[in-house]
Amino acid sequence: MTFKPTYNLIDELKWRGLFHQETPGIENVLNTEQVTGYVGFDPTADSLHVGNLVPIMLLVHLQRAGHKPIALVGGATGMVGDPSGKKAERTLLDLETLNHNLACIRTQLERFLDFDGPAAAEVVNNYDWFKEFGFLEFIRDVGKHITINYMMAKDSVKNRIESGLSFTEFSYQLVQGYDFYHLNTAKGCKLQMGGSDQWGNIVTGTELIRRKGGSEAYAITAPLLTKADGSKFGKSESGNVWLDAEKTSPYKFYQFWLNTSDDEAEKLIRIFTLLPQPEVMALIEAHRADPGRRELQRRLAEEATLLVHGQEALETALAASNILFGKSTAEQLKSLSESDFLDIFDGVDQSEMANIEGVNIVDLLTDSGFLASKSEAKRELKGNAISVNKTKVGEEYVASSADLIQGKYLLLQKGKKTYYILNVTS
RNA sequence: GGGGAGAUACCAGAGCGGUCAAAUGGGACGGACUGUAAAUCCGUUGCUUCGGCUACGUAGGUUCGAAUCCUACUCUCCCCA
């Protein structure tokens, strides 16, 4: 039977800026047969974050090109710890945390792939084939094929020789390499993809497959993303940007993308959306002509939020952004229904207070837990930073129940971007 | 093992007996401008019942008064062996 991919995966990855390195021959294989390829995900937290979206996109493109994607969650590798890019030995996760993380990540991954049809995706856990694998068996069957010299030559190991590296992390590449071998023999998987920091680990896998006599095996890596200033991609002021709506609300997620710089947005829209090339190019051109409209950032934020959180969440995020940053007034705020209000401010920090009638603004800010001390409250008030229900207030402001939205809420704000909701219970 | 240098606010780094809640730079936060940007400019950056209070590695001591002097301890760095 003949196979024809929907499109040339390598070309697609290249123009999107998702291509860093490949092993020779993969392009030809991708164009002539349906390839099963995998990407591994570490269960280091109970949610993936935007940085993990890069390898996810690799799988998505693989599938869209007509190939079979496998997402591997690292139940076994997560117990060992990948030394790549790490300066120091990691602490091991306990089993309970690990299992919890695995389950969460698995659910998240399932959202991005199609599990039906001729290119149906699969999610696997490497713990399944490692749990019965004994140590002696492993060092005889796997360790014998790879030399220490070979393993020591990897950057991930070399960089740690000075500062120290446990045997556990040293052997990580063998464990990951064996994953590839296992998938290769059990599922005919010929391709492993990942960030460029995974190159060494992936190649250990292809080497192992070659020596143990599996079928041919290939690698493709994507460049590691950094911001223009060299800092790590995927962090906002408030920390990691997670894919879990509980940890990073769709609104904050949308805002993360909207706030990207012009240069960055040009890069990111290729990587994190599935918009076709002509449309992307047209958007970039339009944006350069009139950067002030931030059409590019808007579109990027919309597409990324849609991809990760879906239509409904996107609409709420848009509505919230409009209210928060548009020229909305206290009147408009008060006219919101309670459920709209709560939807829009979903994810905004909040606390409860019993009674606010006659409470001075300084006490309000500190007692609510919004600001840490009265000195800070006074400072910010003096700096003209504090608003109540979108209206700037000074130190003389005293709260009254007439200010409450829907008789229950007070919207506190420091600066333009920091909001806090006071839920008045009495 | 011997000798030397040091430990100050988020970070770097001045201060070396009172005028030090501590220069300066960076960061962070706020304001103006703008595109919810960048750059720029301005302000703020321990707590407080606004009387004060607690802070310069830790514990003591000298002094009217200590970040500053003395003692011990802990830690860091450098040189020699």
Write down the residue that tokens 């952004």 correspond to: A321
Q: Is residue A145 a contact partner of residue A211, using CB atoms and an 8 Å limit?
A: yes
Q: Is residue A165 a contact partner of residue A89, using CB atoms and an 8 Å limit?
A: yes
A346 is near strand B: CB distance < 7 Å: no
Pick from A301, A289, A225, A222: nearest CA to A265: A301
A236 is near strand B: CB distance < 7 Å: no
β-strand A418-424 against A350-353: which pairing, if any? Answer: parallel
What is the rounded distance in angstroms from the CA atom of residue A193 to the CA atom of residue A44? 19
Best CATH choice for the domain A235-325 from the list 3.40.50.970, 3.40.50.1370, 1.10.240.10, 3.30.300.30: 1.10.240.10
Whose C1' is closest to the CA of A372: which nucleotide? B47
Angle A298-A261-A22 (CA atoms, 0-180°, nearest 5)? 95
A374 is near strand B: CB distance < 7 Å: yes
A328 is near strand B: CB distance < 7 Å: no
Predicted confidence at residue A372, as pLDDT, reads: 87
Whose C1' is closest to the CA of A375: which nucleotide? B47
A380 is near strand B: CB distance < 7 Å: yes
A227 is near strand B: CB distance < 7 Å: no
Protein CA A355 to sugar C1' B39 (Å)? 45
Measuring alpha carbon to C1', the residue closest to nucleotide B31 is A383
List chain B nucleotides near protein: any atom < 7 Å from a Cβ: 28-31, 34-38, 43-50
**Distance of CA A115 to CAs A66, A71, A111, A323, Å?**
13, 11, 10, 38
Predicted confidence at residue A231, as pLDDT, reads: 54
A97 is near strand B: CB distance < 7 Å: no
Low-confidence ranges of chain A (pLDDT < 70): 1, 87-88, 226-232, 234-239, 327-329
What is the rounded distance in angstroms from the CA atom of residue A370 to the CA atom of residue A349? 8
Token pair for residue A103?
Answer: 């389950």
Protein CA A241 to sugar C1' B29 (Å)? 21
Token pair for residue A373?
Answer: 């001390």
Angle A45-A46-A52 (CA atoms, 0-180°, nearest 5)? 65
Protein CA A164 to sugar C1' B75 (Å)? 22
What is the rounded distance in angstroms from the CA atom of residue A189 to the CA atom of residue A69? 9
Predicted confidence at residue A41, as pLDDT, reads: 95
Q: Delimit the domains of chain A by residue range.
A: 9-222, 235-325, 337-424
What is the rounded distance in angstroms from the CA atom of residue A130 to the CA atom of residue A270? 37
Number of other residues whose CB lies within 10 A of the CB of residue A217: 23
A291 is near strand B: CB distance < 7 Å: yes
Q: Which amino acid is at A113?
A: L
Predicted confidence at residue A364, as pLDDT, reads: 93
Token pair for residue A372?
Answer: 């840490």
What pLDDT, in 10s, does the model give residues A205-254?
999 999 998 788 999 999 987 665 555 676 665 667 889 988 888 888 99
What pLDDT, in 10s, does the model give residues A98-112?
999 999 999 999 999
Fold observed for domain A337-424: 3.10.290
A266 is near strand B: CB distance < 7 Å: no
**Distance of CA A298 to CAs A259, A265, A269, A295, A303, Å?**
9, 10, 10, 5, 9
- Which CATH code fits A9-222? 3.40.50.620
Beta bridge partners of A236: A239
User: Any alpha helices (H) in A295-409, and if so which ranges?
Assistant: 295-309, 311-325, 330-335, 338-344, 361-367, 374-382
Predicted confidence at residue A234, as pLDDT, reads: 67
Pick from A308, A368, A305, A315: nearest CA to A340: A315
Same fold yes or no, A9-222 and A337-424: no
What is the rounded distance in angstroms from the CA atom of residue A69 to the CA atom of residue A193? 10
Number of other residues whose CB lies within 10 A of the CB of residue A101: 23
